[in-house]
Structure 1
Amino acid sequence: MTRRLTPPERYAFGASVRPLLVPKSDPCGRFDAGGLALAMRTPIGPASLIVQRSGAELVATGHGPGAAWAMETADSIIGLRDDVGGFPELAVRHPLVGRLARTFSGVRLPATARLFPRLLRAILEQKVTGKEAHRSYRAVCRRFGVPAPGPADLLLPPDPAEIAATAYWEFHPFGVEQRRTEALLRAARVADRLERCVDAAEATARMTALPGIGPWTAAETVRFVFGDPDAVSVGDFHIPNTVAFALAGEARGTDERMLELLEPFRGHRGRVCDLLALGGITAPKFGPRMPLRSFSRF
């Protein structure tokens, strides 16, 4: 199945879709010169979505039993439903945000409409370095993933039912300790209910009602599942410092200070944080970096 899509002017394909993938090597997706390839478990069956440039258009191709669903949501998955109307007027309230909004005006926020795969990734990213989390994510996907339909040679994201039926100690070799594993198992047991959430607010409420899932994990999930531009990752190790430094020249910030500085951009607060990351804005670093660990060796 094929669908032709017309992106907006200056649409930045790569920058828009790369957050859907774990850096360097994602067993469930790939972005390269050939475009985006993404494996997914849709409500009607497994599918692979391939999106490639064709002149001024993008051509989306779906494979597998879930191809029709993949085609219907292809524009949302690559960010073409992201509504940036009104954001330029908010962005000019701060000169740096206004400049970044102009520089990255072609970046759009994806909305995959599939919650559990993103929640799995967010749980694995709790309280560890990105390298540790991504290493664990790849290991979990290779253990529980099965080949996706289509020619892209990808794995489907893990089946929540299979995750839920696995003992927590079986995740230890993947570098995931008991605390994160138990949060993941709880989420997997109610994955069907989570997938039925109609918006970011309902999903956030349901997720944060589960032990081991807080505001940070929920925000990291709904930002890319529902394309929520206002989702702020409260509790992040770096973002409060980045926001405080970028918007107020303060080397360190708290969650409360971050939210105070982001308030003028309400409705797009998460988008502002993403723009700071795209612009390479970071707060000054003091002290040693968090060490890389491997729980599988403990």
Structure 2
Amino acid sequence: MKYRFAKPDGYDLRSSLRCLSMAGKDPTRLRLPRSGVRKVCWIGEELCRLTIGAGQSEIVVQVEGAELSESEVRLMLALDDQPDVPLEVEDPLRQLSPRIRRFRLGRVPWIYEAVVQTILHQRVSGSEAGHNWYRLCRRWGESWDGLFSVPSPKRLLAISSADFASCGIEQKRMLPIREAAFRIRPYLSPETAPEEIGETMLACRGIGVWTEQYVRGHFLGDADAVPLGDYALPKTVSYFFEQNPKGTDEDMLRLLEPYRGNRFRILNWLEWAGAGPPRRGARLPHGSML
């Protein structure tokens, strides 16, 4: 199945497809020329391969192995997202590149995979979480022409504690991953609200507000999600708006309040712009993965 869409003015494929994954070295994904991507994922109980590319005026998506509706593909590409945020003349966000301020937030239907990836980033660095993800998928996922999927929920529930440990995943992250495999359905319909899936996530042991809000913002395109408890985000926000490199969650909420409805979008802008304070010394877990 192949879909073709007109490319909106100012559309950036690379940033719009950030919702497809978190890890830099991701065995479920292959980067293609001109910001294209090939991705292997579970759509319900069916393995699916997506190939996405764009030219000057058109975006092309090929779907193999499973079915995705046109509306689901549009959500994934963020074609209907409204990236424009009204800003006052003196708003410091106007300092950011107009290109960054046009970046969009997409939504993927593979919610179970999104939750597993995010749990892996709890309490560890992004680099370590990426290595854990790579090993987990390579050892226990399904292969499709050199790419490897996340293990299916059934497979994850059958993996032993020793198997998780061999991937560098300790018990504190293994337990919520198993819980998610049991409770969270692999496929998310377009009609499901982020709030609904958020309630399901919070009902799982070991999943708190940071994981729930991060999944909603990064993977579900919830423009107002705010991941509290992040190491880097409060410092980034406070440094950008007040030149304070030691911001707290309370500072972040206060500074983002004028942008309620688009707070995750603003966080995304700042992260793309590299607007945080200069890094000194080791990075503490868990850092920002936006």
TM-score of the aligned structures, taking structure 1 as reference length: 0.87
Change (3 A) 1:193 1:262: same
The within-5 A match list for 1:145-224 is: 145-148=141-144, 153-192=146-185, 195=188, 198-224=192-218
Alignment check: 8 A CA contact 2:141 2:151 kept = yes
Would you say 1:113 and 2:109 are equivalent positions? yes
One-letter code aligned to 1:177:
E
Alignment check: 8 A CA contact 1:18 1:31 kept = no
Alignment check: 8 A CA contact 1:112 1:224 kept = no
Alignment check: 8 A CA contact 2:111 2:186 kept = no
Corresponding residue number in structure 2 for 1:5:
5
- Distance in 1 between residues matched to 2:68 and 2:130, nearest whole Å: 28
Residue from 227, 237, 248 that aligns with 1:233: 227
**More displaced 10-residue stretch of structure 1: 233-242 or 28-37:** 28-37
**Per-residue CA shift, 1:77-134, capped at 9, x if unaligned?**
12213223xx431x43763323326231442111002211111110000011111000
One-letter code aligned to 2:68:
W
How many angstroms does 1:57 deviate by?
Answer: 0.3
Change (3 A) 1:173 1:288: same
- Distance in 1 between residues matched to 2:285 and 2:107, nearest whole Å: 33
Corresponding residue number in structure 2 for 1:295:
none
Alignment check: 8 A CA contact 1:239 1:273 kept = yes
Change (3 A) 1:245 1:162: same
How many angstroms does 1:44 deviate by?
Answer: 6.6
Change (3 A) 1:73 1:41: same
Alignment check: 8 A CA contact 2:16 2:105 kept = yes
Alignment check: 8 A CA contact 1:94 1:247 kept = no
One-letter code aligned to 1:237:
Y
Alignment check: 8 A CA contact 1:243 1:253 kept = yes
- Distance in 2 between residues matched to 1:137 and 1:235, nearest whole Å: 22
Alignment check: 8 A CA contact 1:21 1:30 kept = no
Corresponding residue number in structure 2 for 1:141:
137
**More displaced 10-residue stretch of structure 1: 97-106 or 52-61:** 97-106
**Per-residue CA shift, 1:181-219, capped at 9, x if unaligned?**
111111111122884782111111221122211111111
Would you say 1:269 and 2:269 are equivalent positions? no
- Distance in 1 between residues matched to 2:245 and 2:142, nearest whole Å: 46
Change (3 A) 1:29 1:71: farther
- Distance in 2 between residues matched to 1:132 and 1:246, nearest whole Å: 27
Corresponding residue number in structure 2 for 1:51:
52
**More displaced 10-residue stretch of structure 1: 37-46 or 55-64:** 37-46
Would you say 1:39 and 2:40 are equivalent positions? yes
How many angstroms does 1:286 deviate by?
Answer: 4.7
- Distance in 1 between residues matched to 2:188 and 2:104, nearest whole Å: 23
- Distance in 2 between residues matched to 1:177 and 1:220, nearest whole Å: 21
Corresponding residue number in structure 2 for 1:296:
none
One-letter code aligned to 1:144:
W
Find the residue that maps to 1:111 and give its secondary structure.
coil
Corresponding residue number in structure 1 for 2:18:
18
- Distance in 2 between residues matched to 1:53 and 1:194, nearest whole Å: 26
TM-score of the aligned structures, taking structure 2 as reference length: 0.89
- Distance in 1 between residues matched to 2:201 and 2:24, nearest whole Å: 28
Corresponding residue number in structure 1 for 2:128:
132
How many angstroms does 1:243 deviate by?
Answer: 0.7
Corresponding residue number in structure 1 for 2:72:
73
- Distance in 2 between residues matched to 1:154 and 1:206, nearest whole Å: 29
Change (3 A) 1:248 1:194: farther
How many angstroms does 1:284 deviate by?
Answer: 4.0
Residue from 81, 85, 89 that aligns with 1:88: 85
- Output the aligned Cα RMSD: 2.4
Alignment check: 8 A CA contact 2:234 2:247 kept = yes
Alignment check: 8 A CA contact 1:2 1:71 kept = no
5+ long unaligned stretches in structure 1: 293-298
One-letter code aligned to 1:76:
L
How many angstroms does 1:36 deviate by?
Answer: 1.4
Change (3 A) 1:18 1:227: closer
